Amino acid sequence: MAQPGPVKEIDATIGALLVRYATARQDDDMMRARMEGYRIVLRDFPAWAVREAYARWLRGEIGREYDASFPPPERVLHDCAKNLTMAAMGQRIGLQMVLDAEAYHPPSEAEMQERRQRLEKVIQSIAENVSPEDRGPGSLKRKPESLEEQTRKEQILNSPGKGILAGLRELQEVDRAAAE
C-alpha cells in the first residue's frame, strides 16, 4: 500500500472538515471524539487521498444521498481514500511493468525458415495420417441419405399436420396456387 501520511496534512484536512461542519451545540469533547474517529479510519492513507476524498464529498461525487449540510460519515471517506489509493497503486504497477518490459526482437530469417519447415512437416503428417472417415462434420462432401432417412423425410413432407415441414409445404402450395 502507499506510504501513509504525513499526519499533519491529514489532521489539517480533518480539521477543515470539522470546522466546516461545526455547530453551536458541539462541545470540545464531542469535537475530539469526532476527530479521533476520522483519524482512526484515515491514518493509513496518504494525505493526498484523504484530501481528494473530502473534495469529492464536497462536490457530491461520493456517498449515498449526498447532503452538504451534514459531515461525511467516516466510512464514506475511508472507502473513497482506499479506492483512490488502490487506483494509484494499479497505475504505478502498470507503469513499472512498462518500464521493466523487454524489447521485442523479431525472429531471424533462419528461425523463420525453421518454423516454416516444422509447420510443413505437421501439415504433411496430418494429410498422410488422417483417413476420409476421420474428417467429421467439417467434410466437404455430403454423405448420401440412407434409405431410412429418405423414407422419414418423405413421410414428414407428405403427411399433412405432422411436423413443421409439412405445414411449411402446405403454405408454399397455397402461395403457389395464389400466384398462378
Domain ranges of the chain: 7-100, 146-180
Q: For the chain, how are helix, strand and coil distributed in percent, rounded to 5?
A: 70, 0, 30
Helix, coil or strand: residue 156: helix
The pLDDT tens digits of the residues spanning 51-101 come to 999 999 988 888 877 666 788 889 999 999 999 999 999 999 999 999 999
Give me the pLDDT at residue 141, please. 61
State the average pLDDT over residues 95-112. Answer: 92
Dihedral angle of Cα 85, 89, 95, 100, to the nearest 10 degrees? 160
Q: What is the pTM of this model?
A: 0.55
Identify the bridge partners of residue 79 per DSSP, sorted by sequence position: none
From CA 26, how far away is CA 84, in angstroms rounded? 31
Q: Which three three-digit cell numbers place residue 137?
A: 462434420
